[in-house]
Amino acid sequence: MGSTDEKRNLTIVSNRLPLSVKRVDGAFQSSLSSGGLVTSLSGLTKSTKFQWFGWPGIEVKDPKDREEVQKSLEAHNAIPIFLDSSLAHEHYNEFSNRILWPILHYQSGVVFDETPWQAYRRVNELFADAIAETAGSGSLIWVHDYHLMLLPELLRDRLKQRGKSCAIGFSLHTPFPAGDFWRNLPVRKHLIEGMLSSDLIGFHTDEYKQNFIDTCASLLNARTEIPNQIQYKNRLVCINKFIVGIDPDKFTDTLQKPDVQERIRALKEHYKGVKVIVGVDRLDHIKGLSQKLKGFDAFLDDHPELQNKVVLIQVAVPSREDVKEYKELETELCTIAGKINGKHATPEGTPLLYMHRSVPFNELTALYSVADVCLLTSTRDGMNLVAFEYVACQEERHGVLVLSEFAGAASFMTNGSIPFHPANKTEMSEAIFNALNLDPAERKAKYEYLRGFVNTNTSAKWGETFIEKLSLRCRRPGESC
Ligand SMILES: O=P(O)(O)OC[C@H]1O[C@H](O[C@H]2O[C@H](CO)[C@@H](O)[C@H](O)[C@H]2O)[C@H](O)[C@@H](O)[C@@H]1O
Ligand SMILES: O=c1ccn([C@@H]2O[C@H](COP(=O)(O)OP(=O)(O)O)[C@@H](O)[C@H]2O)c(=O)[nH]1
């Protein structure tokens, strides 16, 4: 890490703040936001100080109310950027999550629309105005994710106008798709040029990084021969892979708490003689939830001898519920879940526990801890931190990770897990069966491999490495990346 002063001058920018604000009976309440971006950045707070700009998740018009929200977030070093609700809707739901997100995750059938695109531009401008106003010259600004791809360029212009010079980093938390897929987006050039105004761009895997480099070469004719660098419009931009992670101690510490231990005992007692498979996912197409339920159905069909001896506990965390496709998916999942239990339930029990809600952290760690298997079926996924969290809670049991080959995490965790293709029900059924029947020595060997990976690649290390590279870039711009 650089000097303490550099740490103090770090600004993080993301659409999602660590706390989401809601109005309940006229009063403002904030609760911890869901999702991996918040998990990874929150893991950095132990070692690094920063202020965090983002959208509070709610429209607040009245200046007094704004002040109240601002104060409540201040304790978490979070600074809200207020947006009116229709602008936020067009930016977050319509452009970011109905157009950009599916394209980044190789989903077809996306229809481009001008109104959401204009809202996306406007929100990026509003973020740029707010940050350029408060950023001190010489500070490090680290922008996150697909909601803010135009921000580096807009921010650089505004900082220049104010005579300020700051290093700008950008991290993408999603996959970056191969060129041909990216062509589906008519405004792709603007987005990529926006990102290229950064000094340093980080991706989760080598594959995403390479896809980005190839796209810059073919779309913008940028120079990409020098490893880890892109030259475009007389600027050199560093490009690299930075492995995002979790704070494993947060999980191991929580598991030691007496109430969590008590909960684990109760769950063990409840599931005596039953193998537990756990799944924790935001309710999102990319998590392959319908594929998971159908694969589990096939597994139950294939193994009638395991009736009442296996349960899948699936937590589907509510997500982006104002987006039509997410609502439709929720309905579809309820139907499939009902059908599975209709078909396989007995008077002794149901094989599927489908929970459509978020779970408190203590309960989540207890669930991870008692599960013999964690089943993750992403059809595409930037990383998937749930895979890391399950490993962090398995010191005792050495449970098995059954991991889709399409999760970014599979680039690093395949050796320690059982990989499979999520579109193939037979492969998924076999993978579940193999995981449940893995001999203890092999389980231990796989677990130790994964534990080493998770404990080495923490969120703190991810953040510190990125910030170190960004500040180096700032101090010695000519040096190779
Ligand atoms: O902010 P939301 O719309 O509620 O969605 C939650 C987050 O989802 C995505 O997370 C990604 O980041 C994780 C950490 O790097 C990664 O493990 C995961 O694979 C990604 O899907 C999204 O990229 C975030 O911006 C959202 O906040
Ligand atoms: O009720 C819950 C259950 C889980 N998670 C967290 O959501 C994150 C999911 O991150 P991941 O990278 O797996 O996927 P993302 O949701 O970001 O796409 C993990 O840190 C989970 O612990 C959550 O916020 N609320």
The ligand 1 atom nearest the CA atom of 97: 3
- CA 346–ligand 1 middle distance (angstroms): 38
- CA 385–ligand 2 middle distance (angstroms): 7
For the stretch 261-265, contacts whose Cβ atoms lie closer than 8 Å and that sit 24 or more positions apart, written own/partner, are 263/362, 263/363, 263/366, 264/366, 264/369, 264/370
User: How buried is 121 (Cβ within 10 angstroms: 0-12 exposed, 13-18 middle, 19+ buried)?
Assistant: middle
Pocket flag, ligand 1, residue 6 (CB < 6 Å): no
Pocket flag, ligand 1, residue 295 (CB < 6 Å): no
Pocket flag, ligand 1, residue 383 (CB < 6 Å): yes
Cβ(396)–Cβ(365) below 8 Å: no
- CA 358–ligand 1 middle distance (angstroms): 15
Global pTM exceeds 0.95: yes
Pocket flag, ligand 1, residue 244 (CB < 6 Å): yes
The two tokens of residue 340 are 């599975």
The two tokens of residue 174 are 């999603």
Nearest CA to ligand 2 atom 10: 36
Nearest CA to ligand 1 atom 3: 320
Tell me, what's the pLDDT at 7? 47
The ligand 2 atom nearest the CA atom of 246: 20
The ligand 2 atom nearest the CA atom of 359: 1
Tell me, what's the pLDDT at 131? 97
The two tokens of residue 278 are 């756990």
Q: What is the mean pLDDT of each run of 10 residues along the chain (481 residues)?
A: 53 95 89 92 87 94 94 91 97 98 95 97 98 95 98 98 96 94 93 98 98 96 95 95 97 98 98 98 98 98 97 98 97 98 97 97 98 98 98 98 98 98 98 98 98 97 96 79 76
C-alpha closest to that of 65 among 91, 18, 29, 16: 29
Q: Which of 172, 173, 381, 459 has most ligand 1 atoms within 8 Å of CB, for mutation?
A: 173
Ligand nearest to the CA of 459: 1
Ligand nearest to the CA of 283: 2
A 10 A CB-CB count for 88 gives 21
Cβ(459)–Cβ(247) below 8 Å: yes
- CA 205–ligand 1 middle distance (angstroms): 15
C-alpha closest to that of 10 among 471, 480, 472, 387: 471
- CA 173–ligand 1 middle distance (angstroms): 6
Pocket flag, ligand 1, residue 384 (CB < 6 Å): yes
Pocket flag, ligand 1, residue 411 (CB < 6 Å): no
Pocket of ligand 2 (CB under 6 A): 34-37, 39, 280, 282, 315, 317, 358-359, 364, 383-386, 389
Pocket flag, ligand 1, residue 91 (CB < 6 Å): no
ipTM value for the complex = 0.99
- CA 384–ligand 2 middle distance (angstroms): 8
Q: Which amino acid is at 297?
A: D
The contacts of residue 26 (CB under 8 Å, 6+ apart) are none
Ligand nearest to the CA of 245: 1
Tell me, what's the pLDDT at 57? 92
The ligand 1 atom nearest the CA atom of 40: 14
Q: Which of 33, 37, 94 has most ligand 1 atoms within 8 Å of CB, for mutation?
A: 37
- CA 281–ligand 2 middle distance (angstroms): 6
Give the span between the Cα atoms of 443 and 355, in whole angstroms: 28
CA angle 106, 204, 185 (to 5 degrees): 30
Ligand nearest to the CA of 101: 1
**What's the chain look like in SS3?**
CCCHHHHHCEEEEEEECCEEEEEECCEEEEEECCCHHHHHHHCCCCCCCCEEEEECCCCCCCHHHHHHHHHHHHCCCEEECCCCHHHHHHHHHHHHHHHHHHHHCCCCCCCCCHHHHHHHHHHHHHHHHHHHHHCCCCCEEEEECHHHCCHHHHHHHHHHHCCCCCEEEEECCCCCCCHHHHCCCCCHHHHHHHHCCCCEEEECCHHHHHHHHHHHHHHHCCECCCCCEEEECCEEEEEEECCCCCCHHHHHHHHHCHHHHHHHHHHHHHCCCCEEEEEEEECCHHHCHHHHHHHHHHHHHHCHHHCCCEEEEEEEECCCCCCHHHHHHHHHHHHHHHHHHHHHCECCECCEEEECCCCCHHHHHHHHHHCCEEEECCCCECCCHHHHHHHHCCCCCCCEEEEECCECCHHHHHHHCEEECCCCHHHHHHHHHHHHCCCHHHHHHHHHHHHHHHHHCCHHHHHHHHHHHHHHHHHCCCCCC
Tell me, what's the pLDDT at 264? 98
Nearest CA to ligand 1 atom 16: 383
CA distance readout (Å), 427 to 160, 240, 422: 55, 33, 8
Domains of the chain in sequence order: 9-244+461-472 (3.40.50.2000), 248-455 (3.40.50.2000)
CA angle 223, 226, 232 (to 5 degrees): 30
Tell me, what's the pLDDT at 183? 87
The ligand 2 atom nearest the CA atom of 286: 18
- CA 325–ligand 1 middle distance (angstroms): 17
Q: Tell me how far apart the terminal alpha carbons of the chain are, to the nearest angstrom.
A: 16
CA angle 52, 453, 444 (to 5 degrees): 140
Tell me, what's the pLDDT at 276? 98
Tell me, what's the pLDDT at 10? 95
- CA 405–ligand 2 middle distance (angstroms): 19
Pocket flag, ligand 1, residue 132 (CB < 6 Å): no
Q: Which of 33, 174, 282 has most ligand 1 atoms within 8 Å of CB, for mutation?
A: 174
Cβ(453)–Cβ(435) below 8 Å: no
Cβ(391)–Cβ(401) below 8 Å: yes
The two tokens of residue 301 are 């069909």
Give the span between the Cα atoms of 409 and 401, in whole angstroms: 11
